[in-house]
Amino acid sequence: MTRFDAADPAERRQLYADAITAHRTRGSAYLTLEVDESELDEETNTGIAADDPRANGENVDEIDESDSDLGVPWIQFGDGIVNLDCTESELETVKAVLEEFPAFSIDALTWPENADGVNVRVSARADPNRVAQFFDAVFQRVYDCPQTYRVWVVEL
């Protein structure tokens, strides 16, 4: 692999497919994709819109735990399994995205005691191009990334 980031939708999907192929060729344990933090708007990055009074510390007790900051969106892939973290509300969107990918299914849901959110493991035994389409759908629809978000292959 010669490039490790992309922002154009078609280039991102090609990057994902190339990364999956390189991962499988190398026999590495997993690959990790991460959204470029500088590309995220404040609402995507914190779960609270900049104009929301809670963003300034007002009514902090009213913040729903499902909207807590889980950090920069990421996806891991290894041995046909997609691994990601999401909030409770994002989990519903993950399930909606999975309806468009009938060959993919949730293998496990884990609510870690020491972390906010849910860890989701999805069986994705498909060709690299189909898995790439799933990755892009998750980043855009689950994590609300803009159409031109930049993603990095941070581990291969």
Helix runs in the chain, H state only: 9-26, 42-46, 88-98, 128-137
pTM (two decimals): 0.80
Say which DSSP state 23 is in: H
b/e 69-101 (16+ beta carbons within 10 angstroms → b): ebebbbbbbeeeebbbbbbeebbebbeebbeeb
Say which DSSP state 114 is in: T
Question: What domains sit in the chain, N to C, each tagged with a CATH number?
Answer: 5-42+68-155 (3.30.70)
Q: What is the pLDDT along the chain (156 residues), one digit of tens a residue?
A: 567 999 999 999 999 999 999 999 999 999 999 999 886 654 444 443 334 343 344 443 433 333 446 789 999 999 999 999 999 999 999 999 999 999 999 999 999 888 789 999 999 989 999 999 999 999 999 999 999 999 999 998
Among 42, 41, 22, residue whose Cα is nearest residue 32: 22
